[in-house]
Chain A
């Protein structure tokens, strides 16, 4: 079953507000990847984190990997309509199996 818990399942924000999604694994991960899936589309790779405590930024997106390599977060500052979609984390196990979170859907309130 699912071994990477991702919360929340949905997040409704006003345009311009911040958004955060969290992933927690029951086991230590070799790395963690983040993907974005637009409605009707396929997942698209955003970033990979490998080192304990790593923080990476992509413009308004900030990604963190926990010290124990069991948790991660994605934070978007000042959301825009182009950020709409579902964000997934995926943890790589030592046997190269990828375990995915259930995703967080970002919805911009009209």
Chain B
């Protein structure tokens, strides 16, 4: 059974703090790791997709890294702002079937002004 885990489940930080979350996934048959930012009543917004071991991606104050050998990815937010408050979802796809996504539980981030 393919299982993707995220930690922590929720997080409160002060504005200006930097923070990071973890996503762990099975290494075998791994194809890609996706990070999404999701606000209620909106479509999950794609942040990053990473496939190669050692991949690092950056988008403004948000960055992500990937370690496919040990099966984890980190998402970093530098200088958190209240507008960063959202649920951050990671999903893995694997080289089997139709590359469906297996999601983690999400990390709910609240940035306090």
Do A and B pair up? The answer is no
